[in-house]
Amino acid sequence: MINPEMLKLGTERCYIRELAEYGAQQAKIVGREHVYDFSIGNPSVPAPQAVKEAFLHLIDEVDALAVHSYTAAPGMVEARAAVAEDLNRRYGTDLRAENFFFTYGASAALTAVIRALAVPGAELLAMAPYFPEYRPFAENNGMKFVVVPAEETFQIPLQALEERITPHTQAVLVNSPNNPSGVVYSRSSLESLAGLLEKKSREIGHPIYIIADEPYRELVYDGTEVPFIPTIYPNTVVCYSYSKSLSLPGERIGYFCVPDQAQDSRELWDAAAGAARAMGHICAPSLQQRVVALCAGCRPDLESYDRSRMALYTALTAYGYECIKPTGAFYMFVKAPEGDGRAFSDRAKAKNLLVAPGEDFGCPAYFRVSTCVDTDMIRRSLPVFRALMDEA
Amino acid sequence: MINPEMLKLGTERCYIRELAEYGAQQAKIVGREHVYDFSIGNPSVPAPQAVKEAFLHLIDEVDALAVHSYTAAPGMVEARAAVAEDLNRRYGTDLRAENFFFTYGASAALTAVIRALAVPGAELLAMAPYFPEYRPFAENNGMKFVVVPAEETFQIPLQALEERITPHTQAVLVNSPNNPSGVVYSRSSLESLAGLLEKKSREIGHPIYIIADEPYRELVYDGTEVPFIPTIYPNTVVCYSYSKSLSLPGERIGYFCVPDQAQDSRELWDAAAGAARAMGHICAPSLQQRVVALCAGCRPDLESYDRSRMALYTALTAYGYECIKPTGAFYMFVKAPEGDGRAFSDRAKAKNLLVAPGEDFGCPAYFRVSTCVDTDMIRRSLPVFRALMDEA
């Protein structure tokens, strides 16, 4: 008498996590220096000093009853206002505290928004390559998950997307900078997407929302622009996490934001708040909310991410690997020389080099390399990458 | 095209929260000293000093990358083991880290367990008086919510419960020490309940679980015993929160625990883990997990809660109010002199004395008084309580 879908979700093997565990095991056998783990996307840069100081200030100098108390379900007004102000300053928007709802990170924001849009038959579109958890988030919160095959450059596959829009399409997931490709959607791509969605929304008689999943918004290189999607397409809900931008992945602090300009803005915000309530949301961690209030303008130190990205990109392409140059996040998505990402991942594993096969991201010919790793491990891994190409 | 149930959940007025907001408004008009707010159950005792020291140690002395990193989805093994050890020491159990799954507080634990048990037609029994959020947690996660009317002394209404068990009954919620009554279920009551559930489980051919919601486990007075329910009834899942015991309500840290002795223990744990994943759970806040690992044996300072409890109980019963003496939590549940808790709450509100009407707790003739308030406010409020009785 146990729910079989939940049991399946709870027992499914996660290949990427198993790779990382295998790596930890192998390190004990062959030595840490002979294992090259590029499997998981954990920030490798510590939280900014200002974040540490904010924590210390809150714990040491502020009344404990106040610091640890329940906040309103959507979060402290001061914290939400601080985030609104930071975005307004950067993007010329007119967001207010009331547009925001703090959640347990971007995942909880996504599930709340998905459930808010889950009407009978509802469909959610995701463009490959995509973050694998999108599928269970959609399928277990009342939406059909529809994959749009990738475009060669991992930009927006506009025609394939158009072909998959139906009267049931409620939203399109947009994840830029992208996990796993590291690609940032250009302003012109996003404008084309906006044009398409406006046209199709009119045709089907209801808005198709963009759900912008933006945990990597601040992780961008070479001066690449990351357009703020609500300024291009008003029917956009933003889901955000401080996991990467403040290097607080375990602390579970993020938000959803429904701008006033979105159609049925208040109803959508309310329904997502209701969905969060249904899932047991009381408030996002109060200490973390207060840190965000103090550090909303902090930016991550990108230098070491950039160095790792360039070291790997330069070497791998020199060895003959094909890869779109990543300009954001901390991943690169590489075509397997044998055209099969799982086969490559298995070959690599045999040499204690761990990369995630692309199948779970919707692109079976590719593998993902997490570049948020130390540069010394990169240096040691390069002969292995070269050998894997030579043997292909 | 927005989910109407979620919209309803997100826009529903919460009378208790509105009372508290009214109180804050009135305080600005008539002065804080003329408002007597007994509406909300926020801890009024700060977190123990050891908790503060644990936070400072973790932030100041431990590597930031490690402290704030993702943990495994169920939580850090060290933290789970520390909790298991503390319970084993107190209750003679043989719990292991593997029985625990850290969640965003007890609410997220409850929704995960409910969803794990949500098979078609599933029913969840709750005995009045009960925490109002149980209803949306059940109804929005696939279970029918079945109320068992209260027994006079707010102990377990055994016969009424038996009458409501059907082949669809999957679980009974047990909340002891109880919100709102402050009653602790006695060992003999729980043994009778266990006997009944064993008998009925055999009859219907599958286990009826107890979901023990225990955020107030450590808040108990007069040396009252709080039996650990898994030691009485093996098919018990424990949902716990550190909101009250460590005075960290906003920090969202708690767990569910499925002991090995429970039928289908591993499957139930896995399904609840799957349900958490479906709702966007990644890991409970890592800093808070680490604090629990260091402070699993800390107990709250009960002296001021006890003082407030006795001051209110003694005065109100002297004025003629009828109330079961609370021996746990920080509430008392009082019979309205006019037999209508909402009418009493309205009369009280007109005098700026705020108490929660009992209807949302399943007992419309009662009102709830939160006793976790400062003793000075209690002293000032007593003439108002007296006048409300005299005018009834």
**Interface mutation vs chain B, best among A40, A255, A282, most B CBs within 10 Å:** A282
The residues that bridge with A146 in the sheet, in sequence order, are A125
Over residues B268-293, mean pLDDT: 98
Q: Which pLDDT score is estimated for A41?
A: 86
**pLDDT band for position B42 (50/70/90)?**
confident
> Whole-model pTM?
0.97
A383-391's contacts with Cβ under 8 Å and 24+ in sequence apart are: A384/A36, A384/A348, A384/A351, A384/A352, A384/A353, A385/A315, A385/A316, A385/A319, A385/A321, A385/A353, A386/A315, A386/A319, A387/A351, A388/A337, A388/A344, A388/A347, A388/A348, A388/A351, A388/A353, A389/A319, A389/A320, A389/A321, A389/A337, A391/A347
β-pair partners for A194 = none
Q: pLDDT per position in chain A (392 positions), as tens?
A: 999 999 999 999 888 888 988 998 999 999 999 999 999 888 999 999 999 999 999 999 999 999 999 999 999 999 999 999 999 999 999 999 999 999 999 999 999 999 999 999 999 999 999 999 999 999 999 999 999 999 999 999 999 999 999 999 999 999 999 999 999 999 999 999 999 999 999 999 999 999 999 999 999 999 999 999 999 999 999 999 999 999 999 999 999 999 999 999 999 999 999 999 999 999 999 999 999 999 999 998 899 999 999 999 999 999 999 999 999 999 999 999 999 999 999 999 999 999 999 999 999 999 999 999 988 999 999 999 999 999 98
> Mean pLDDT throughout B319-335?
98
Please answer yes or no on whether B275 and A249 come within 8 Å at the CB atom.
no
Q: Which residues contact B303 (CB under 8 A, 6 or more apart)?
A: none
Q: Which two tokens stand for residue A375?
A: 């540069």
Identify the helix (H) or strand (E) that includes residue B127. Answer: strand B123-127
Residue A332 in contact with residue A371, Cβ under 8 Å? yes
Is the pLDDT score of B392 beyond 90? no
Q: What confidence tens digit (pLDDT) does each residue in B221-272 have?
A: 999 999 999 999 999 999 999 999 999 999 999 999 999 999 999 999 999 9
| Distance from the A287 Cα atom to the nearest Cα atom in chain B, whole angstroms | 7
Residue B293 has pLDDT above 90, yes or no: yes
- How far apart, in whole angstroms, are the C-alpha atoms of residue A43 and residue A23? 18
pLDDT of residue B20: 87
Is residue B313 predicted with pLDDT exceeding 90?
yes
* Contacts A107 to B, Cβ<8 Å: 280-282
pLDDT in tens, A97-108: 999 999 999 999
For residue A42, what pLDDT is reported?
Answer: 87
Long-range contacts of A342-350 (CB under 8 A, 24+ apart): A344/A388, A344/A392, A345/A19, A347/A388, A347/A391, A348/A384, A348/A388, A349/A19, A349/A22
> What distance in Å separates the CA atoms of residue A312 and residue A386, rounded to the nearest whole number?
12
Q: Give the pLDDT of residue A15.
A: 86
Residue B49: DSSP 8-state = H
Out of A7, A70, A207, closest to residue B250 by CB: A70
pLDDT given at position B3? 97
How far is residue A17's CA from residue A39's CA, in Å, rounded to a whole number? 8
**DSSP conformation class of B358:** G
Give CA A204 to chain center in angstroms. 29
Per-residue pLDDT of B183-215, as tens digits, reads 999 999 999 999 999 999 999 999 999 999 999
| Tokens 């909303």 sit on residue | A296
Residue B320: CB atoms within 10 Å? 11
Mean pLDDT of chain B: 96
**Structure confidence at residue A304 (pLDDT):** 92
CB pairs A-B closer than 8 Å: 264
In this prediction the ipTM stands at 0.96
**Nearest-CA residue of chain B relative to A288?**
B251
DSSP H/E element including A277: helix A265-278
Which residues in B lie closer than 8 A to residue A285 (C-beta atoms)? Answer: 104, 250-252, 285, 288
A280 and B65 in contact by Cβ < 8 A?
A: no
B9-31: per-residue pLDDT in tens? 999 988 888 898 899 899 999 99
Q: Which residues of B touch A281 (CB under 8 A)?
A: 104, 107-108
Report residue A230 as tokens.
Answer: 């609500």
The sign of the CA dihedral A43, A46, A47, A52 is positive
**Percent residues over pLDDT 90 in chain B:** 95
Residue B67 C-alpha, separation from nearest chain A C-alpha, in angstroms: 8
State the average pLDDT over residues B344-361.
Answer: 97
